[in-house]
Amino acid sequence: MANIPDTVKPTEDVLFLACTRPAMMAGVTIEAGFVIIIVTGIIFLAGGSLLYLLSGLFIYAACRAMCAHDPNQFAVIFAWARTKMRCKTRAYWGGSSTVSPMRVRKPRNWREFQKWEA
């Protein structure tokens, strides 16, 4: 290997946060806004009182704190839900593939059965 001194630093390029930041309204991302509206609506409909709409303020505060730490947090959560959470057999197969490695359709006649066994 080449003798590279430890004092050499890798080249750093400037990447502005505005180029990678998701669209935000009132300090939360659009995805977080949908979560706030849906959860507050469910709580309001389950409770049956207008006072339950105030729970949206607490949910908003929690979502804003999450977005202040990492603006892409809800995008990561939704990506996880689309991949890992959908796979019901991930513990059995040891992966997050939603497709089983087993054949799904049973043979309908003897010829298909012979191909199926091979």
In tens, the pLDDT along 35-68 reads 999 999 999 999 988 898 999 999 999 999 998 8
The rounded distance, in Å, linking the Cα atoms of 68 and 26 is 11
Decide: helix, strand or coil at residue 35.
Answer: helix
Q: What is the average pLDDT score of the chain? A: 80
Q: Is it the case that residue 118 has pLDDT exceeding 70?
A: no
Between 7 and 30, where is the model more confident?
Answer: 30
75 and 99: one domain? no
Q: Is it the case that residue 98 has pLDDT exceeding 80?
A: no
Task: State the pLDDT at residue 103.
Answer: 61
Range among 8-12, 38-42, 82-86 rated most confident: 38-42
Calculate the CA 32 to chain-centre distance. 12
Task: State the pLDDT at residue 25.
Answer: 87
The rounded distance, in Å, linking the Cα atoms of 24 and 18 is 11
90 and 67: one domain? no
pLDDT band at 72 (very low <50, low <70, confident <90, very high): confident
The rounded distance, in Å, linking the Cα atoms of 54 and 112 is 62
| Domain membership of residue 73 as a residue range | 1-81
The rounded distance, in Å, linking the Cα atoms of 29 and 58 is 16
Task: Look at the chain and report how many structural domains it folds into.
Answer: 2
Which residues are bridge partners to 24 per DSSP? 29
Q: Is it the case that residue 4 has pLDDT exceeding 80?
A: no
38 and 17: one domain? yes
- 103-117 average pLDDT score: 72
10 and 58: one domain? yes
